C-alpha cells in the first residue's frame, strides 16, 4: 500500500515551493489574461492528456463562471475539444500540427494562448506556441521544473518546482484556478 500521508506531504511541499518559485509569474499571467478579457480578446488553451483535461476545465470556468454565473462570459476556448477536427487533422495531416492549425484559424493579435505541458516537450504544443507568436498572440506556458523545450518560449512561464508528473499537474491545477479566479474577479469589478 502506498504511503498516502507521504503523498499528501509531497504535494504540500511542491505547493509551498510554488510560493517562491511561481507567485510572480502567476500574477503576471493573471494580469495578461485580465487585460485580454477586458479588451474582448480570446483565451485559448492547449495540452495533451491531463493537460488537455485542464484546458477543457479552465476554458469552461472562464466561459461559464468559476465563482459566479452572474457575470459576462469570457471568450475562452479549449483547442482540445473539437474531436472531429482533432481526429481528422491528425489522421490526414499529423498530430503535431493540431493546435497550430486551430490557432491559424481562430487566433488573433492580442489573444492569449495558454500552453500546458508537464514535460515542456510536447511537439504539438510547441508548434501551437509558434503559431500564436506568428499571430502576435501572448503566450503563457505552464510546465514542470526543467521547463523542457518550452522553458523560454512564453511571454510568461509558470514552472512548477517538481519533476514528478502528478505533482506538476496538481501545481498546474492550482495555478490555473488562481488565474481564472483572478480574471473573473477583475471582470466582476467593472
List the chain domain ranges: 26-188
Asked if residues 72 and 91 have their Cβ atoms less than 8 Å apart, the reply is no
**Is residue 63 pLDDT above 80, yes or no?**
yes
Q: In what order do the strands lie in the sheet with 138-143?
A: 76-78, 43-46, 112-116, 138-143, 156-159
**Is residue 68 pLDDT above 90, yes or no?**
no
Instruction: State the average pLDDT over residues 7-28.
Output: 96
Q: What are the φ/ψ torsions at residue 113 (nearest 5 degrees)? A: -110, 125
Distance CA 40, CA 51 (A): 25
% residues pLDDT > 70 (the chain) = 99
Going by their DSSP bridges, the two strands 76-78 and 138-143 should be labelled as: unpaired
**Is residue 66 pLDDT above 80, yes or no?**
yes
Distance CA 145, CA 53 (A): 21
Q: What are the φ/ψ torsions at residue 155 (nearest 5 degrees)? A: -70, -30
Cα–Cα distances in angstroms (integers) from residue 10 to residues 7, 14, 15, 58, 166, in the given order: 5, 6, 9, 25, 10
CATH number for the segment(s) 26-188? 3.40.50.10490
Which tens digit of pLDDT belongs to each residue from 97-133? 999 999 999 999 999 999 999 999 999 999 999 999 9
Asked if residues 160 and 181 have their Cβ atoms less than 8 Å apart, the reply is no
**Is residue 172 pLDDT above 90, yes or no?**
yes
Which tens digit of pLDDT belongs to each residue from 131-168? 999 999 999 999 999 999 999 999 999 999 999 999 99
Asked if residues 59 and 65 have their Cβ atoms less than 8 Å apart, the reply is no
Amino acid at each position: 500500500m502506498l504511503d498516502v500521508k507521504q503523498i499528501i506531504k509531497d504535494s504540500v511541499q511542491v505547493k509551498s515551493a510554488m510560493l517562491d518559485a511561481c507567485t510572480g509569474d502567476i500574477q503576471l499571467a493573471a494580469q495578461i489574461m485580465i487585460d485580454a478579457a477586458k479588451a474582448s480578446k480570446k483565451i485559448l488553451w492547449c495540452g495533451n492528456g491531463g493537460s488537455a483535461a485542464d484546458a477543457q476545465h479552465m476554458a469552461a470556468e472562464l466561459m461559464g463562471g468559476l465563482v459566479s454565473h452572474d457575470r459576462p462570459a469570457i471568450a475562452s476556448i479549449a483547442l482540445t475539444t473539437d474531436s472531429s477536427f482533432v481526429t481528422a487533422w491528425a489522421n490526414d495531416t499529423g498530430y503535431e500540427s493540431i493546435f497550430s492549425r486551430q490557432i491559424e484559424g481562430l487566433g488573433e493579435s492580442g489573444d492569449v494562448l495558454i500552453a500546458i505541458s508537464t514535460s515542456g516537450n510536447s511537439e504539438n504544443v510547441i508548434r501551437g506556441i509558434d503559431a500564436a507568436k506568428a499571430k502576435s498572440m501572448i503566450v503563457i506556458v505552464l510546465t514542470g521544473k526543467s521547463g523542457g523545450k518550452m522553458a523560454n518560449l512564453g511571454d510568461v512561464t509558470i514552472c512548477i518546482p517538481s519533476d514528478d508528473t502528478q505533482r506538476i499537474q496538481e501545481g498546474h491545477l492550482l495555478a490555473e484556478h488562481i488565474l481564472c479566479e483572478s480574471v473573473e474577479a477583475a471582470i466582476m469589478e467593472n
